[in-house]
Structures are given as structure tokens and as C-alpha cells.
Amino acid sequence: MTRELLAALAKGPLVCDGAMGTMLLASGVEARCPEEINLISPETVRNVHAAYLAAGADIIETNSFGGSRIKMSKAGLVDLTLEANLAAARIAREAAGKLALVAGSIGPTGELLEPLGGLSREDAASIFREQAEALAEGGVDLFIVETMYDLTEALAALEGIACTGLPALCTMSFDSHLRTMMGVSPIKAADELLAGGAVAVGANCSVGPEEMLKAIGDMHRAHPQAWLVAQPNAGIPVLNGAKAVYSVTPEQMAGFVPLFLELGVRVIGSCCGSTPEHTRAIVRAVRGG
């Protein structure tokens, strides 16, 4: 699949889907964590995938962002870790068929790695390997390691994924000051993640498209030949009571697409607060429709 993905990226940009959590929250299904929905209401997850596919997405992500053993344990579901990840991949694979690529979504464990915390890089890599193997068994084509703040953890994820032989994209979350929560800069992230084996690197979450352009621009200037990934939020959320409200409309999101593509972005999508309408607008901007 590495060869096929590289060939697809060489032809032009691919559109990834948008927020899964936003859509699942809107569905009203109650669960201890989003990954449990793969088991208790698979049709709900399948419907989200179908909506993004109908919007024209080239890549859909599995509902497994928090599917590591550590996060599943915190939800009281550690014994269902493998089953939930396997189901996530199978649901997405069934929905996508041959219409789109399926990316196994892998997010951070939520734990601090040594020396700041108690999780070793070796243990983190083992935890990510377990998740990656289940997603690969379920039929994913590639992986997206995303919303990472700690460079060591991101590299551990890439190490864990390597055993599957499938390609991996990796994105980190930068604030408006161009640093992750752990102080990593876009250039440092690109340097290390590309050296760590990522096929493409970039940014996701935390900020909207305008702010994310700055991080992507830094990566592009440092690695002008690299393929980059951009998945901004639909703006920076503002709380309206207990609800997070995102202000960037699909049309506004699409307006930034040409700017991202000029900076070497080859996988473009959206993150928190986005919907299939954002994906549809991005697709039109990418394809000129």
C-alpha cells in the first residue's frame, strides 16, 4: 500500500474527512468513550463514514483516535481494546469499499512519557503496536498519527506502526504561537517525524485554518519537497454555555485550500467542529468544481 499511496499523492492532493467526534456527539448515542460506539452502535459510525464519502472524501479515518489500551482502560473498557479497534477498521473498510482509502486513526495516550512522566518510550511503542496491529487486521490502508503534542510519543507511535508495513502520516497540534503543548516547533516536528519514517507530516486540531497556515508554512520552508498534511478545526471554539461553538463555515474553510496547496499540502481535511459540508466544500476547492 505504501507504493499505491505514494502514487496517489504524486498525482495530486487527497481530501481527508472531517470530525468524527463532532458527528458522534450530534448523534446522541451514549457511550463511555467514542470507540465503544463501534461495538454498541456500529451503524452510527458507518453513517458518519457514509456522509463523508458522499461529500467526496478520498480518505476516511477510523473511529479509533482514543483506542489505545491506556485510554480504553480509563474508560473501563481495557478488555475491549482489540475488539473496538478491529471493529473500527472493519466498519470503515466496509463503508469505503474501493471508493476511498481507510486510515487508522491513532491519537496520544494521554500520559506523559519519561522523564516528565512514568511511561517509557518502549512501553508507548508497544501500546501503539497493539493498536496498529488490530487496525491493520481490520483492513486499514494506512495510518494517521494525529493531535500529538510530545515528539517522543509521536515517534513511538511511528515505531509501533512500523511492524505492520503500512505507511503512516503524522500530525501534531500547534497553538497560535507555533508550539505544541510540550514546546515543539513545526520545523522540529517535521525534521524528526520525516526522519522517523512518516510519509507525510503536518498539523491538525487546536486552531483554525488561518492560524494553521503559519505552522504549515514553517514546515514547507524547512522541507520544500515534503508532502504535508493540514486538518484545521472549524475555527477556535467559543463556549456558549456548555457547548463549544465553531465559527468557520464550509465556504470559509474552502477559501484557505489554495493557500495550503501552495505550501505543499497533499492531504487536506478538517478537524473539530467540522462536518461533511466542510469536506464537500474542500473537495470543490481541490477539484475546481
Local structure of 105: helix, strand or coil: strand
pLDDT tens, residue by residue, 58-91: 999 999 999 999 999 999 999 999 999 999 999 9
State residue 3's pLDDT score. Answer: 77
| Residue whose C-alpha cell reads 471493529 in the numeric block | 87
Q: How far apart are CA 217 and CA 111, in angstroms?
A: 30
Is the CATH code 1.10.1130.10 the one for domain 2-287? no
Q: How far apart are CA 213 and CA 37, in angstroms?
A: 33
Q: How confident is the model at residue 1 (pLDDT cuts 50, 70, 90)?
A: low
List the domain boundaries for the chain. 2-287
State residue 113's pLDDT score. Answer: 97
Q: How far apart are CA 204 and CA 18, in angstroms?
A: 11
Q: Report strand pairing: 238-240 vs 243-245.
A: antiparallel
Q: Give the C-alpha distances (Å, rounded to integers) separating 188 from 17, 74, 106, 107, 179.
A: 27, 31, 21, 19, 10
Q: Which helix (H) or strand (E) holds 195?
A: helix 186-195
- pLDDT of residue 238 exceeding 90: no
Q: Give the C-alpha distances (Å, rounded to integers) separating 282 from 76, 163, 174.
A: 38, 33, 22
pLDDT tens, residue by residue, 4-29: 888 888 888 999 999 999 999 999 99
Q: How confident is the model at residue 244 (pLDDT cuts 50, 70, 90)?
A: confident
pLDDT tens, residue by residue, 155-194: 999 999 999 999 999 999 999 999 999 999 999 999 999 9
- pLDDT of residue 38 exceeding 80: yes
pTM over 0.85? The answer is yes
| Residue whose C-alpha cell reads 511511561 in the numeric block | 119
- pLDDT of residue 289 exceeding 90: no
pLDDT tens, residue by residue, 183-229: 999 999 999 999 999 999 999 999 999 999 999 999 999 999 999 99
C-alpha distance across the termini of the chain, in Å = 29
Can you tell me the mean pLDDT for 257-270?
Answer: 98
Comparing CA positions, the residue from 106, 111, 123 lying closest to residue 35 is: 106
State residue 283's pLDDT score. Answer: 98
Mean of per-residue pLDDT scores for the chain: 96
Neighbours of 2 (CB within 10 A): 13
What cell numbers appear for 11 in the block?
Answer: 498525482
